[in-house]
A = this chain, B = another copy of it.
Amino acid sequence: MEDFDMTLDYAQQATWQPVGGNVQSPIDIQTTTTTASQLAAISWRGLYQAQTIMDDGTTLKAAGKGAAYLNDRDFDFEQVHFHIPAEHLIDGVAAPIEWHLVHRSATGQLAVVAVFGRIGKPNQAFQGLLDQFTPKASHDLTEPVDLTKLLPDTGTVYHYLGSLTTPPLTESVEWYVCGDSVMLGEAQLQAYQALFQPNARAVQPLNDRPVIAERF
């Protein structure tokens, strides 16, 4: 701010309005323009387990417990939900499905681990959720579902700062988009697609945000 006539008027501060909207999600991740880092982005810490399941109108949402270190800080797992097709693109390409493992830290920082599904052998965790899902209902799971099979073991993760992808589109979300997809069965994907309409938000402008490629 080199314009010395533009001094803030503190007597008018009640009229100041926060400006947002420049760091939205999802994005199209161009892998050739990411910055490599030696950081260990994700470290799963024990059991991920779904305890409740609900029809959120546009997605199956399962809440439960779990814990991870994300960039060396403690986060608690809150819920997982699904987008068909994937919301994040990798070099312009969308996977058929993407799931979001939503985490929160002690300060309330949101961090979402995004995982792409690809067609392959059936996924036990995904089947556990499908089996206990009831349309237009929300209920506790009689048998908690072990979500471990929805988590990639290792690989590249693309880390950037963005937003929720549904209203209220809150910014200040840390994204960890896993580059290596997890398999689920073709019949499983079709069963899910029979339950829900496409729910991928369009990709948003990157606006010069760096995307860091980390290993885990």
**A contact set with B: CB distance below 8 Å:** 1-2, 4, 6-8, 10, 13, 16-21, 23-24, 35, 37, 54-58, 71-73, 106-109, 136, 138, 159-161, 163, 166-172, 197-202, 209-210, 212
Q: Which residues of B contact A200 (CB under 8 A)?
A: 10
Neighbouring B residues of A17 by C-beta, 8 Å: 21, 167, 169
A57 touches B6 (CB 8 A): yes
Whether the pair B16, A167 counts as a contact (CB closer than 8 A) is yes
Nearest chain-B residue to A3 (Cβ)?
B57
Cα distance A201–B106 in the bound complex, in angstroms: 26
Contact residues in B for A160 (Cβ distance below 8 Å): 107
Chain B hits for A56, CB < 8 A: 1
Q: Which of B1, B4, B167, B212 contacts A106 (CB 8 A)?
A: B212
List of B residues within 8 angstroms of A37 by Cβ: 106
Bound CA–CA A171/B110 (angstroms): 13
Query: Which 7 interchain pairs have the tightest Cβ spacing?
Result: A172-B172, A7-B57, A19-B168, A18-B169, A20-B20, A72-B72, A18-B20
Contact indicator A199/B57 (Cβ below 8 Å): no
A10-B199, A18-B24 known; A171 vs B168 contact (CB < 8 Å): no
CB distance from A17 to the nearest CB of B (A): 7
CA distance A8 to B10 in the complex (A): 40
CA distance A139 to B165 in the complex (A): 43
Residue contacts A-B, CB under 8 angstroms, 20 given: A2-B54, A4-B57, A4-B136, A7-B57, A7-B58, A8-B57, A8-B58, A8-B199, A10-B198, A16-B166, A16-B169, A17-B167, A17-B169, A18-B168, A20-B170, A72-B72, A107-B160, A109-B161, A171-B171, A171-B172
